[in-house]
Amino acid sequence: MITPSASRIPFKPMLLASALSAVLLAACGGGSDGGGSFLPIVPPAAVTPPAPPPPAQPPAAEPDQLISKATFTPNAGTTEGSSDASTAFALPDNFMLVADDEANVLRVYPRAGGAAVKEWSYELDGPKLGKELDLEAGTRIGDTLYLTGSNSNKKDGGDAPDRSHLFAVKVTGTGAATTFTYVGQFSALEAQLVAWDAANGHGLGANHFGFTVSAGAGIVPERVDGFSVEGMTSAPGDSALWLGFRAPQTGASTRAKALIVPVQNYAALVGGTATQAAFGAPIELELGGRGIRSIDKGTDGNYLIVAGPAGAASPDVDRNFALFSWNGNPGTAPVELSNDLDKLRKETGGSFESTVEVPGPVKAGTQVQLLLDNGDTKWDGNTASKDLPPAEQKFEGFVVRLGQPWVDTAGPVLKTTSPAAGRVGVNFDTSIVLSFNEAVRLGAGNIVLHKADGSVVETFNAASPAARVQLAFNVLTIVPTAKLTAETGYYVTVDANAITDPSGNAYAGISDATKLGFMTAGAPTQLVAGDLLFMAGNAEAPDAYAFVLLKAVNGGTQVTFTDRDRKAGALEFTDITNETAFVWTADQNLPAGTIVTIQTDVTGNPIADKGTTLGSPGGIGKSETVYAFTGGTIEGLGIGKAGKITAVGSYLASLTLGGAAGTIPDAITTAGTGFSFTVSPANQTNAIYTGSLDRSDLAAFAARVKNPANWTVRYAPAVGWPLTNNSLFGDKLP
């Protein structure tokens, strides 16, 4: 048991160019439907497209077609964040209006870069939304802006009803003289979308798109079957608002296409003369396995789509983000353009979510201005931009010339596999995960799991049930029907026509027994309190914690982690579905003394530097207790999601940070494996073991970890302890 330190803070026993005249922008979901002012807009068919801009074409070696880059900083004195540009609109005289998905404000910026010159709060004025809207999409029709939140759950899957507002505001003037006149709002968009799908309002079958599940408790939004609106534009003739979904993507197992849902009576909804949304026929688009991040109408009536993955960008993928031109006809496929957006975002790692406007036809040569959401960018190498003081936050934008259609003639390239080739100690219920450099589809051939003697265990193909073969953008997951046999060799072969990209180019396949060969583990190791100790915890970015195994474990050994608030007695975690809950699995045999770090504030499953995880991610707050236990049951456990914890097995350890949260089980108290670093009033707390990492004598090492004098603790908001190679101890371990 760790005893209190002598400091005043008790260690309790239980323990992110001026050449902008011809650029465009719209939103992390849409923006201007044409020109750079707020004058009424003539329907697209009657608009005469302006002549293409005169500058010479850049060399063919620059597929991103970059013209200029700018950085945007907040207005002086703001108390709101300004890193997460999410939708934007052109204003006269080279100004633009930008929304931020982390702050309930709209800001006016010079499009050439620099500080904002005006801030309008829709928390204090207009709709007066008291909680974060997560504004992700907007469009302009005449002099009126229509804006909506993501309609999504929180990152940890918790319900967020305040993200479902659609509101309208008229904007006049420009620069510091911009004025805002509130029109009205509609606050039931998500609920009515879910009900429309469930009741077969589209005629495709009840629950065709799975909105009820996607928007349900415990489902994180940023996954192919999540729920998040990030694009908005108007239909031809402004007959409807088109809601562009980042997620879900459509298809039972392939989850391949992007979705648009029209809202036909939008003006009546925000005007208060209608209370029931009238949804039109849904539109499904092939965007190379991506969802919609922004969609904008050009002066020729065609559309420019910024497309990106439903989840986070993958380092394995060559083109996470892409531009598409589309004529607005649901029966016509969008055309991918050659612009290399990943090259532009490589330096900062942001995501493209806004186009300021499309000031010309949607064709090669037209200049547009794109904005990055830089909320997770670490400008100083340590702190995410959205976690910096407001005055220090910023985001970037680029002016690019639209490129020619992208021609893809190469098949997918396999980048990483799990299990890794040659891995020994693989868990019995392992899935086989293949990650490629681009989106993939199932072709006509087979993927076959063999035993080392060549016998066939199971065959997978396009006809396999969705539970057995799953696609998410560039990742193909194969789930064997039965658990594998202990201490047995296996390998996987892939027919040359079994996997293709969206253009039909085939993956070369795997024919030998070594490229995807592995050996399963023995029986999972039984753990008890004292076999695992926490070694670090960050309640500030990067949100993460670390633990050490004091006992050698076989692959397949599992530990469940959660920071849900435990209740006394037999109630445990009854009926709680928000916050983190996931299972960590050793994916190989690990020796005693192994230190593991898990990052929790991510998209999808938490990230482990050793082993694998399955379940819901989430941030670490001011009052958190993280519990580790073996056994138990979590309902609805899946990639990036976790339902109720319905049973708990044997508790192993706990770590309390900031303020007391939940109760500590007797087994942890008795074993002395409950560590607590608290302060009153509760505050963000980062704590890390800084004693010797010599683990040659594990009993002595455990005693050092249990001694609070060997820990360094920060009891105030401050950047978390840094990660090296995804480990809180990566700079200290060989």
Contact 585, 423 (CB under 8 A): no
Say what the pLDDT of residue 34 is.
38
**5 pLDDT more than 70:** no
In three-state secondary structure terms, 446 is coil
**60 pLDDT more than 80:** no
Under DSSP, the state recorded for 28 is S
Contact 478, 432 (CB under 8 A): yes
For 246-270, write each residue's pLDDT tens digit: 999 998 667 899 999 999 999 999 9
For 420-431, write each residue's pLDDT tens digit: 999 999 989 899
The residue with greater pLDDT, 10 or 730, is 730
SS (H, E, C) 337-383: ECCCHHHHHCCCCCEEEEECCCCCCCCCCCEEEEEEECCCCCCCCCC
**17 pLDDT more than 50:** no
Say what the pLDDT of residue 571 is.
87
CA distance readout (Å), 106 to 27, 88, 138, 436, 692: 12, 9, 12, 39, 50
Q: Quick one: which of 317, 373, 507, 496 has its CA closest to 102?
A: 373
The kind and range of the H/E element at 582 are strand 581-585
Q: Rounded distance, CA 524 to CA 275, Å?
A: 56
Q: Rounded distance, CA 385 to CA 719, Å?
A: 11
Say what the pLDDT of residue 661 is.
77
Question: What is the DSSP annotation of 641-654?
Answer: B---EEE--EEEEE
**50 pLDDT more than 50:** no
Q: Rounded distance, CA 306 to CA 27, Å?
A: 9
Q: Looking up tokens 């401050």, which residue turns up?
A: 718
* pLDDT mean over 379-383: 81
Say what the pLDDT of residue 61 is.
40
For 606-654, write each residue's pLDDT tens digit: 999 999 999 999 999 999 999 999 998 999 888 888 999 999 999 999 9
Q: Rounded distance, CA 41 to CA 187, Å?
A: 27
Q: Grade residue 380 by pLDDT with cuts at 50, 70 and 90.
A: confident
Burial 621-635 (b: 16+ CB within 10 A, else e): bbbbbbbbbbebebe
Contact 163, 152 (CB under 8 A): yes
**14 pLDDT more than 50:** no
Per-residue tokens: 278: 């009238």
Say what the pLDDT of residue 44 is.
32
- Bridge-based pairing of strands 686-689 and 711-714 is antiparallel
**27 pLDDT more than 60:** no
CA distance readout (Å), 247 to 17, 206, 225, 307: 35, 18, 6, 11
In three-state secondary structure terms, 391 is helix
Q: Rounded distance, CA 608 to CA 463, Å?
A: 33
Question: What is the DSSP annotation of 38-82?
Answer: -SPPPPGGG--PPPPP-SPPPPTT-TT-EEEEEEEEPPTT--S--
Say what the pLDDT of residue 4 is.
33
CA 640, 255, 234: angle at the middle one, nearest 5?
105
Q: Quick one: which of 257, 253, 289 has its CA closest to 466?
A: 253
Q: Rounded distance, CA 521 to CA 422, Å?
A: 13
Contact 171, 254 (CB under 8 A): no
Q: Rounded distance, CA 351 to CA 635, Å?
A: 32
In three-state secondary structure terms, 272 is coil
Q: Yes or no: is domain 44-401 CATH 3.20.170?
A: no
For 69-117, write each residue's pLDDT tens digit: 999 999 999 999 999 999 999 999 999 999 999 999 999 999 999 999 9
Contact 560, 583 (CB under 8 A): yes
For 404-462, write each residue's pLDDT tens digit: 999 999 999 999 999 999 999 998 989 999 999 999 999 999 999 999 999 999 999 99
The kind and range of the H/E element at 442 are strand 441-442
Q: Grade residue 504 by pLDDT with cuts at 50, 70 and 90.
A: very high
Q: Quick one: which of 128, 131, 104, 107 has its CA closest to 119?
A: 107
The residue with greater pLDDT, 489 or 154, is 489
The kind and range of the H/E element at 145 are strand 144-149
Q: Rounded distance, CA 254 to CA 469, Å?
A: 9
Residues contacting residue 151 through CB under 8 Å, at least 6 positions apart: 163, 164, 189, 190, 193, 215, 227, 228, 229
Mean pLDDT, all residues of the chain: 90
- Bridge-based pairing of strands 85-91 and 144-149 is unpaired
Q: Rounded distance, CA 242 to CA 256, Å?
A: 19
**9 pLDDT more than 60:** no
Say what the pLDDT of residue 210 is.
94
For 525-564, write each residue's pLDDT tens digit: 999 999 999 999 999 989 999 999 999 999 999 999 999 9
Say what the pLDDT of residue 700 is.
97
The dihedral region occupied by 29, where left means phi > 0, alpha psi between -120 and 50, and beta the remainder, is left
How many residues can be counted in the chain? 734
**219 pLDDT more than 90:** no
Contact 56, 347 (CB under 8 A): no
For 291-322, write each residue's pLDDT tens digit: 999 999 999 999 999 999 999 899 999 999 99
For 137-175, write each residue's pLDDT tens digit: 999 999 999 999 999 998 877 888 899 999 999 999 999
Say what the pLDDT of residue 253 is.
64
Query: What CATH architecture applies to the domain 414-520?
Result: Sandwich (2.60)
Q: Quick one: which of 454, 583, 431 has its CA closest to 512?
A: 454
The pTM of the whole model exceeds 0.95: no
